[in-house]
Structure 1
């Protein structure tokens, strides 16, 4: 019995230490997630197809980015992604939020300063 209590105490101490050491406010949304959400939009923004399932991804990503660090991370990933697609139509990229019925506080562009996104 004392061995079990000792194990539980060690687990509790380790958990508390991890919670204290863990960085706060870091973005939980990485570029892999952004790419997964936005992949259906690539044919549309590169003039190779209709929007298709693009709006589902845009709305899902918008819903997932709840904190400022998340929004800044998403902005940076979108900025990087938009700059890496050959033949991208920036007019279509910038129009995606409106097309899909969401409002984001920045323009999706390689020149966007994501550090100013709130």
Structure 2
């Protein structure tokens, strides 16, 4: 199925780029593009406090870049595939080399994290 491209305003693109200019949020989106994560998993992967991770996720959610799913006391996040900025975000995320040292370190941490 071909995805329709939605033209964004200069303000929309600027706001999206501001959000992605933070390395934590950028790499968080890179991970969330492939898989859904619980807040506790992201806390362990990024070695950031729960309030810190929640603040990043709140900004991404408010911008429509991630979606939230609740399951009991747990909250799971994934990239929002139908947001207007989706194509822009995916284009940027594709530029991150899979061999990036920081990304590889984060992916290694995710293997040992479980909160269920």
Q: What TM-score, normalized by structure 2, do the two folds share?
A: 0.35
Query: Which structure has the bigger radius of gyration?
Result: 1
Higher helix proportion (structure 1 or 2) = 1
Higher RCO (CA-CA < 8 Å; seq separation 6+): 2
Indicate the structure with greater strand content.
2
